[in-house]
Amino acid sequence: MLNNTLLSTFFNNRIAFKQVIDECTPKLHPTLLVGSNLVNSVREAKPFLEMNKLYQIINDFDRNNYTKVLDWSITTNYVVGNRVKFNDTVNEWIYYCTADNVANTPTFDSDFWETDLSYYLRNTRKDSVLESLSNIIVENNVEHLLKSTIQFSNYFEERNVYKPYTFNTNLLNERLHNFQYLKIQLQTNRNLKVNINKIGIKTDTAQTLPFYLFHSSQPNAIQTFSLDLTTGFNWYDVEIDLKYISNLHNAKGVFLFGFYENDTIGNFYTTDMYRKWINECSQFQATFTNIEGVDVLQPTLLPILSEGYSPFNQDFKTLFNFQYSVDLDYTYSVMQAPQIFDKVIQYDIALRILSDAQSSVRANTAHAKLISSIDTILQDKYIRTDKYAKLVEKGLVGQLQDLKEQLKINIDFVGSNRINYSFL
C-alpha cells in the first residue's frame, strides 16, 4: 500500500512543467513550475508537448464543452471545483476554483483559481504519481509472491474464564490515575505497518471510555479517542496505525496503548490468555506488562515509562483483546529514494498527455497532423528481416516499461520471497 495523499504532495515538488510563453494559451499556475524534473524535457515527446498545440487539440479544452459555464460574478460564493468563464479584456479563459472564495478575481497565478490547462495538468500529474507507483508495487508483489495485506483474527486466544478486576483506590475509595496499557513492540521493518482494527472488552456498565496511544520517544499521546462501551463483551471498531517510523514519533520504540483507571465506572473483566506466537517473521509483539497499571503522581501527569518497561515483564491476564492486520507500506521507501521514481512518473505523464491528444475527437487541421506524428513515437519500430522482425527503435510505451522494470530491480522491497506465517 501507499499513502497516496502524502506521495502526491511529495512529488508535486519534484515533477514540473514548462511555463507557456505565447499569449494565445493560458499560463500555468506557479505551483506547477516547481521541480527540477520537467515533463516537457522527455526527449521523444518534447516536440509534441508544446502547450499551445495541446490546448488546440485535447478534448478537455474544447469550448463546445463550456457552453453552459457561467461568467464569473463578484458576488457569488465559489467552492472548490466550481468553474467559470472570465474575460480579462485580452482573453476569455476557463478557470477552476481551488479554494472557497468570494470576490477574488480569477487569474492564472491566483491562490483561489487556476486555468483549465493548469487544472488538467495538475490532475494528470496526480493520476500518474498514484497509478504508476501503485502499478509498480502490484507488479512486484505478483512476481515476488508478496501479499498486500496479511490479516489475522484476535491477537490473544482467550479461555473465556472472566474475573472482575479490582482497581486500586485511595482512602476516599476513588480509583487511582493508573494507566492500564498494552505494550506493543514492532520489529525493525520500515515497509510494514501494523493496524489495530478492533478492540474487544468486557464491562458490566455502559460508559464512554477514553483510550490513549503513547510512544516511548515522546511524552505526549500521539492518538486519543473514546469508545462508547456497552454491557457484556463486545468488539469495537478502531483505526490505529503502528508504524516503525513516522512523522509522529522516532523510529521503532515501544507503543503503549490503554486507558486510565479513574476514567472507568463499574466492573471490567480480565481473562487468562495465551498468545498467538508467530515464527521469526513476526512483525510485532504485544503484552500486558503490568496488570496493576503504571503509577502517576497526579491525574494531569502522563505515564512513567520506566515502570513495567522491561520486555521480560508480562502478565498472563488481559483487560482487552484486539484484532489486527499487517499491511505492506512502501511510502517510506519511495520518499527515501525519490530520484529513482522521478523518471518513471515523468515519462508516464508525457505518455498520458500524448494519449489524450491521440484519442481526441476534435476535428481540426492541427489535430490531424499531430495524430500521425504522435503515432510514430508511441510504439516500437521494427523492420522485417527474412522471417523475423527486428526492433530498431523503442517507442515511448516501450521505454516507460523498461524504466518500470529497472525500478523493480533497484528498489529495496520487502523480501524477494513469500512471507510465510505459521502458528505454533
Verify that 200 and 253 share a domain, yes or no.
yes
Verify that 172 and 136 share a domain, yes or no.
no
Verify that 173 and 307 share a domain, yes or no.
yes
Verify that 376 and 265 share a domain, yes or no.
no
Verify that 253 and 361 share a domain, yes or no.
no
pTM, two decimal places = 0.65
What is the span of the domain harbouring residue 234?
Answer: 166-318
Verify that 19 and 137 share a domain, yes or no.
yes
Q: Residue 260: inside a domain, yes or no?
A: yes
- How many independent structural domains does the chain possess? 2
Q: What string of DSSP letters covers 270-308?
A: EEEEEE--B-TT--EEEEB--TT-B--SSTTSPP-TTTT
* Alpha helices in 92-249, H assignment, sequence order: 116-144
Q: Residue 103: inside a domain, yes or no?
A: no
- For residue 318, the model assigns a pLDDT of 77
Higher pLDDT among residues 86 and 285, named by residue: 86
| pLDDT tens track for 305-354 | 444 434 444 555 678 888 888 777 777 767 777 777 888 888 889 888 88
Verify that 172 and 289 share a domain, yes or no.
yes
Which of these ranges, 344-348, 376-380, 387-391, has the smallest mean pLDDT?
387-391
- For residue 363, the model assigns a pLDDT of 63
Q: Residue 72: inside a domain, yes or no?
A: no
| pLDDT tens track for 259-304 | 988 899 999 988 765 544 433 335 667 776 554 445 444 445 455 4
Q: Residue 394: inside a domain, yes or no?
A: yes
Verify that 313 and 355 share a domain, yes or no.
no
Q: Residue 70: inside a domain, yes or no?
A: no
- CA 402 to chain CA centroid, nearest Å: 26
Higher pLDDT among residues 107 and 305, named by residue: 107
Q: Which of 318, 342, 364 is the last residue of a domain?
A: 318
Q: Residue 211: inside a domain, yes or no?
A: yes
- For residues 112 and 123, the answer to whether their CB atoms sit within 8 Å is no
User: Which contiguous run of DSSP H or E holds residue 314?
Assistant: none
C-alpha distances in angstroms, 121 versus 6, 48, 309, 370, 395? Answer: 19, 15, 52, 19, 23
Determine the straight-line distance between the first and last CA of the chain, rounded to whole angstroms.
29
